[in-house]
Amino acid sequence: MNTDNNILNQIEIFVKKYFKDKHQVAFTYHNIDHTQAVVSATIKIAAACKLNNSDTEMIIIAAWFHDIGYFTNKEEHEKESIRIAEEYLNSQKYSIESIKKIGNCIYSTKMGVEPKNILEQVLCDADLFALGEKNNFKNCSNLRKEQEIVFGKTLTYKKWLKQEIDFLEKHQYYTSFAREQQREQKENNLTIIKNLLMQEPTEPKKEKKKTTLSKGVETMFRITSRNHTALSAMADDKANIMLSINAIIISLSMSLLLPNILTSPKLLIPTSILLLVSILTIIFATLATRPKVTSGTFTKEDIHNKRVNLLFFGNFFKVDFEDFDWGMKEMMKDNDFLYGSLIKDFYYLGIVLNQKFKYLRYCYNTFMFGMIIATLVFILTLAIDF
């Protein structure tokens, strides 16, 4: 098979980078592993069908691009894949006629669309080549999991098995090579699923990855949480002290010093400095204690991808209790998720504490140096009067 290895190598690099950049944990089926498997199957079938070099190159390109649009348009990912492929191939000055054929091959992989020529038949067979592989049940399970997370399509274990049986019984490969090569294992896969259905159709219990933590680690979590809470309370208390003191200073300045400015204009500058220092101190103290507003919501996809921390109220206060209850139970079933949430909680609380103490430092520095300056100016003003 002599094809333009340069363009194929470039496309392979482009597609792998695209999948890496757009990677989402929820895509347990439509991922780079599936794409590479389809490319591998495409090469085998194309060789068996004795396609010429040009057709082989086009069908391999179509295989690389056939699922790339899934990230941005899950409902019509074939059309999006065609758009991305056309955009890339046009930038490479690829033949317009060949680009059109590649697009037709990609579209033929859409469910319910019949392939019209040998190129389209090769890609369709390659896309479902795994139906005749030993790992088919795992692939089907990954697709089921992905549809539950991405589309919310939840099927009982029994209904899912029936759906898989129905699909395998109706499916037919288009090329003689795929039919002959995959027939025996495909029949075995069908038998395996039928046997599972005949047994008690109950979802197998999923093994949860257990994380065994020592007593010292649990003590570390507890002490760290207590220390963070104590530091946060300390910062708030210090900020409240400064708010109270400077509120009193402003109140006394307004009542005692401002009325005397009319008779003693020299008091204007030190009084203004005193008021400015107090106002700046109050601003920094307020920033140190000001709460941060969060969205208060999360999605099922966030839970499955372990992207949300349910230990912080700001991530769930707008969510219904049923959804929060479900999310908490999912987290408690997975030790990695649970302790990962604790770690996230410590990390982001640390960031908040850093902000608090940063503004608190500004507050105390402003108050300390400002009061020194204001006092010196008052003394100089009074000295001049004498």
pLDDT of 200 reads 59
pLDDT band at residue 208 under the 50/70/90 scheme: very low
Q: CA of 63: how far to CAs of 25, 68, 138, 235, 366, in Å?
A: 22, 10, 21, 59, 65
pLDDT of 198 reads 84
pLDDT, tens digit (0-9, with 9 covering 90-100), for 29-47: 889 999 999 999 999 999 9
371 CA to centre of own chain? 49
Mean pLDDT in residue range 105-133: 94
pLDDT, tens digit (0-9, with 9 covering 90-100), for 173-188: 999 999 999 999 999 9
- Asked whether the beta carbons of 273 and 257 are under 8 A apart, the reply is no
pLDDT at residue 192 greater than cutoff 70: yes
Q: Is the pLDDT higher at 7 or at 228? A: 7
pLDDT of 210 reads 45
Give percent of the chain above pLDDT 90. Answer: 45
pLDDT band at residue 220 under the 50/70/90 scheme: confident
Mean pLDDT in residue range 344-361: 86
pLDDT of 299 reads 75
pLDDT of 3 reads 59
pLDDT of 170 reads 93
Max mean pLDDT range (61-70, 73-82, 254-263): 61-70
Distance CA 85, CA 93 (A): 12
* Mean pLDDT rounded to a whole number for the chain: 86
130-133 long-range contacts, CB within 8 A, separation 24+: 130/37, 130/41, 131/168, 131/171, 131/182, 131/186, 131/189, 132/173, 132/178, 132/181, 132/182, 132/183, 132/184, 132/185, 132/186, 132/189, 133/182, 133/185
Distance CA 384, CA 174 (A): 104
pLDDT, tens digit (0-9, with 9 covering 90-100), for 287-311: 988 877 666 777 777 777 777 777 7
pLDDT of 276 reads 93
pLDDT band at residue 209 under the 50/70/90 scheme: very low
- Residue for token pair 């430092």: 361
Q: Is the pLDDT higher at 233 or at 295? A: 233
Max mean pLDDT range (34-43, 130-139, 200-209): 34-43
- Residue for token pair 């999006």: 80
Contacts of 318 (CB under 8 A, 6+ apart): 295, 296, 297
- Asked whether the beta carbons of 235 and 360 are under 8 A apart, the reply is yes
Other CB atoms within 10 Å distance of the CB of residue 272: 15
Mean pLDDT in residue range 81-98: 94
Instruction: Look at 138-147, 255-264, 325-334, 376-385 and tell me which has the smallest mean pLDDT.
Output: 255-264
Closest CA to 280 of 184, 219, 359, 384: 359
- Residue ranges of domains in the chain: 5-198, 215-385
Q: Which CATH entry fits the domain spanning 5-198: 3.30.70.1230, 3.20.10.10, 1.10.3210.10, 3.30.565.10?
A: 1.10.3210.10
pLDDT band at residue 244 under the 50/70/90 scheme: very high
